[in-house]
């Protein structure tokens, strides 16, 4: 069946570089366009290594996966940024040991990292240009084991190490049938333990940076850590999932999470008051590996793009999108980078959201808030640039209706191109393209279709996104 969106997609992809006039042929233009304008809020810094991925510790152990010789994986990483951060930890970190000359194991509750594992990972980081946040086993390990492990990690990863993380989702250590700590496990008890571990590690590896407290959901612990820090934490970290897998739905990825804004405001305030940057170091759509038929669809890609831009808007210093084999030993549905279990990695549907974010962020160091009319509940818009000047803008439509937006109020300039994120429908798991291209089997992506924007009106079809770039400011 030929749909309106398919017609528009075919029209837009007739030829690379085709001019897009103000009245696009497949969108009704009788009504005036919706006007977008810049907020008067100050621009927010966006670090060069904002983009990131997150892995369970078991992904680092085996030889061949996160390896410089895994050319597909290297290309997939490079495709979303020449700089970035890989965070390794997760629940598996609670069951991981460092055995420099031991046998490698990569099981959900029995993982062993060796010197060979570390050396391979260091080579991967050097090849991609990315850095790492490394978690130690605070749940069941000892401080002496952590000192040995961090010494090896710091030596082998060298300048590729961003920070050491002590524990994973630490506020939950007193929970469950077999808790890691005697309940109730309070922030004060955790802070005392953290200080002991920090002192021992820094004594052995002077000057090494730390990320903490790495909570699952608890913002209050992050606020306490920010307030209590006396040079013993360099990066505030926490996690976020829209919901649990069993309670997730497509509807939840179609609209903003009403709880999230409050969380972001509190994290931003804690960061500003302490002068310590904060990072969403583990996140994705639904915990437990995502929701099949939702997280791995085009809706998942649009949500990923919107979520990353929203974090940048609220002063987050970076985000680690969880990917790969999870703590339940299967490749998560939400994974931006998929694995067929036979050594072949490829781009998952959410990867395209990260790809679009990377294209928008290229050459930009600031986020500038965009005001969207309240009559457009399914539209979100963001602006990125430098020196308080907009270089790129992203418009996302998570609704059925096609809309036309005026971007004159964003002051983009006169040489603007558009790159579209498209798919046959919101539920599509195949046929997804960005700037006319899919990701090649080699892991590389290259745009084959960009549009030259004439005038200030931009059509945004239902269930699609567009990245606008001012060529003169990049």
Sign of CA dihedral 334, 339, 340, 346: positive
Instruction: Say yes or no to pLDDT of 238 above 90.
Output: yes
* Mean pLDDT calculated for residue range 276-282: 98
What's the chain look like in SS3? CCCHHHHHHHHHCCCCCCEECCCCCCCCCCCCCEEEEECCCCCEECCCCCEEEEEEHHHCCCCCCCCCCCHHHHHHHHHCCCCCEEEEECHHHHHEEECCCCCCEEECCEEEECHHHHHHHHHHHHHHCCEEEEEECCCCCCHHHHHHHHHHHHHHHHHHEEEEEECCCHHHCCCCCCCCCCCCCCHHHHHHHHHHHHHHHHHHCCCCCEEEEEECCCHHHHHHHHHHCCCCCCEEEEEEEEEEHHHCCHHHHHCCCHHHHHHHHHHHHHHHHHCCCEEEEEEEEEECCCCCCCCCCHHHHHHHHHHHHHHHHCCCCCEEEECCECCCCCECCCCCEEECCCCCEEECCCHHHHHHHHHHHCCCCEEEEEECCCCCCCEEEEEEEECCEEEEEEEEECCCCCEEEEEEECCCCCCEEEEEEECCCCCCCCCCEECCECCCCCCCCCCCCCEEECCCEEEECCCEEEEEEEHHHC
Instruction: Say yes or no to pLDDT of 136 above 50.
Output: yes
Say what the pLDDT of residue 30 is. 58
Q: Which of 131-140, 337-346, 423-432 has the lowest mean pLDDT?
A: 337-346
In which order are the strands placed within the sheet that holds 96-98? 96-98, 110-113, 105-107
* Mean pLDDT calculated for residue range 293-313: 98
In contact, 355 and 431? CB cutoff 8 Å: no
54-63 confidence digits (pLDDT tens) = 999 999 999 9
The chain-wide mean pLDDT, for the chain, equals: 93
Q: How far is it, in rounded angstroms, from Cα 292 to Cα 108?
A: 21
Instruction: Say yes or no to pLDDT of 19 above 70.
Output: no
Q: Which residues pair with 381 in a beta bridge?
A: 395
Say what the pLDDT of residue 474 is. 66
What does each C-alpha distance from 471 to 406, 411, 417 come to in angstroms?
19, 13, 7
Q: How far is it, in rounded angstroms, from Cα 120 to Cα 157?
A: 10
Say what the pLDDT of residue 131 is. 98
Q: List the Cα angle 304/309/313 in 5-degree steps.
A: 150
End-to-end CA distance of the chain: 41
37-51 confidence digits (pLDDT tens) = 999 999 999 999 999
Query: Which residue, among 165, 463, 160, 436, has the nearest Cα to 302 in the 3D structure?
Result: 463
Say what the pLDDT of residue 29 is. 53
Q: How far is it, in rounded angstroms, from Cα 74 to Cα 229?
A: 36
Say what the pLDDT of residue 378 is. 96
Instruction: Say yes or no to pLDDT of 429 above 70.
Output: yes
In contact, 318 and 278? CB cutoff 8 Å: no
Phi and psi at 343, nearest 5°, equal 90, 10
Q: Whole-prediction pTM value? A: 0.94
Say what the pLDDT of residue 23 is. 35
Q: How far is it, in rounded angstroms, from Cα 44 to Cα 444?
A: 31
Instruction: Say yes or no to pLDDT of 304 above 60.
Output: yes
Supply 236's token pair: 């505030």
* Mean pLDDT calculated for residue range 297-326: 97
Residue of 370 and 258 predicted with greater confidence: 370
Phi and psi at 33, nearest 5°, equal -70, 155
Say what the pLDDT of residue 473 is. 73
In contact, 350 and 296? CB cutoff 8 Å: yes
Query: Which residue, among 4, 136, 112, has the nearest Cα to 62 in the 3D structure?
Result: 112
Instruction: Say yes or no to pLDDT of 6 above 80.
Output: no
Phi and psi at 165, nearest 5°, equal -115, 130
164-220 confidence digits (pLDDT tens) = 999 999 999 999 999 999 999 999 999 999 999 999 999 999 999 999 999 999 999
Say what the pLDDT of residue 31 is. 77
Say what the pLDDT of residue 16 is. 36
375-425 confidence digits (pLDDT tens) = 999 999 999 999 999 999 999 999 999 999 999 999 998 899 999 999 999
Place of tokens 């009788």: 30
What does each C-alpha distance from 154 to 58, 140, 151, 197 come to in angstroms?
19, 21, 5, 16
Q: Percentage of the chain with pLDDT > 70? A: 93
Instruction: Say yes or no to pLDDT of 13 above 70.
Output: no
């Amino acid at each position: 069946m030929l749909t309106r969106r398919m017609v528009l997609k075919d029209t837009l992809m007739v030829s690379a570089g085709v001019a897009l006039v103000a009245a696009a042929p497949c969108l009704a233009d009788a009504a005036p366009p919706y006007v977008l304008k810049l907020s008067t809020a100050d621009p927010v810094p966006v670090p060069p290594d904002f983009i990131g991925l997150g892995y369970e510790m078991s992904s680092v152990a085996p030889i061949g996966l996160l390896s410089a010789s895994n050319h597909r994986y290297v290309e997939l990483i490079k495709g979303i940024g020449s700089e970035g951060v890989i965070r390794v930890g997760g629940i598996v970190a609670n069951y991981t040991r460092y055995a420099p000359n031991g046998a490698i194991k990569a099981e959900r509750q029995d993982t062993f990292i060796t010197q060979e594992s570390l050396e391979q990972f260091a080579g991967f980081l050097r090849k991609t240009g990315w850095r790492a946040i490394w978690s130690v086993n605070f749940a069941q390990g000892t401080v002496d084991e952590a000192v040995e492990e961090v010494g090896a990690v710091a030596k082998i990863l060298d300048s590729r190490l961003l920070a050491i993380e002590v524990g994973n989702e630490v506020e939950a250590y007193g929970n469950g049938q077999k808790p890691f700590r005697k309940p109730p496990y309070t922030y004060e008890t955790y802070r005392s333990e953290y200080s002991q571990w920090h002192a021992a590690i820094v004594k052995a590896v002077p000057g090494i940076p730390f990320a903490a407290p790495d909570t699952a959901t608890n913002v209050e612990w992050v606020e306490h850590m920010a307030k209590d820090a006396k040079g013993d934490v360099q990066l505030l970290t926490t996690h976020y999932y829209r919901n649990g897998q069993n309670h997730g739905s497509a509807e939840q990825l179609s609209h903003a999470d009403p709880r999230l804004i409050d969380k972001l405001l509190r994290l931003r305030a804690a960061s500003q008051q302490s002068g310590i940057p904060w990072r969403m170091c583990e996140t994705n759509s639904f915990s437990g590996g995502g929701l099949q038929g939702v997280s791995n669809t085009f809706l998942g890609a649009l949500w990923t793009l919107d979520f990353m831009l929203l974090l940048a808007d609220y002063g987050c210093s970076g985000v680690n999108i969880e990917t790969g084999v999870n703590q339940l030993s299967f490749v998560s549905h939400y994974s931006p980078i998929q694995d067929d279990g036979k050594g072949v990695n490829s781009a998952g549907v959410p990867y395209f959201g990260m790809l679009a974010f990377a294209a928008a962020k290229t050459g930009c160091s600031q986020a500038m808030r965009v005001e969207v009319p309240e009559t457009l509940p399914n539209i979100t818009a963001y602006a990125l640039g430098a020196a308080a000047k907009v270089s790129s803008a992203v418009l996302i439509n998570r609704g059925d209706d096609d809309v036309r937006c005026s971007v004159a109020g964003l002051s983009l300039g006169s040489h603007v191109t558009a790159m579209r994120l498209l798919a046959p429908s919101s539920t599509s798991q195949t046929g997804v393209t960005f700037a006319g291209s899919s990701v090649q089997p080699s892991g590389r992506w290259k745009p084959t279709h960009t549009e030259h924007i004439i005038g200030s009106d931009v059509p945004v079809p239902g269930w699609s996104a567009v990245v606008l770039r001012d060529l003169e400011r990049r």
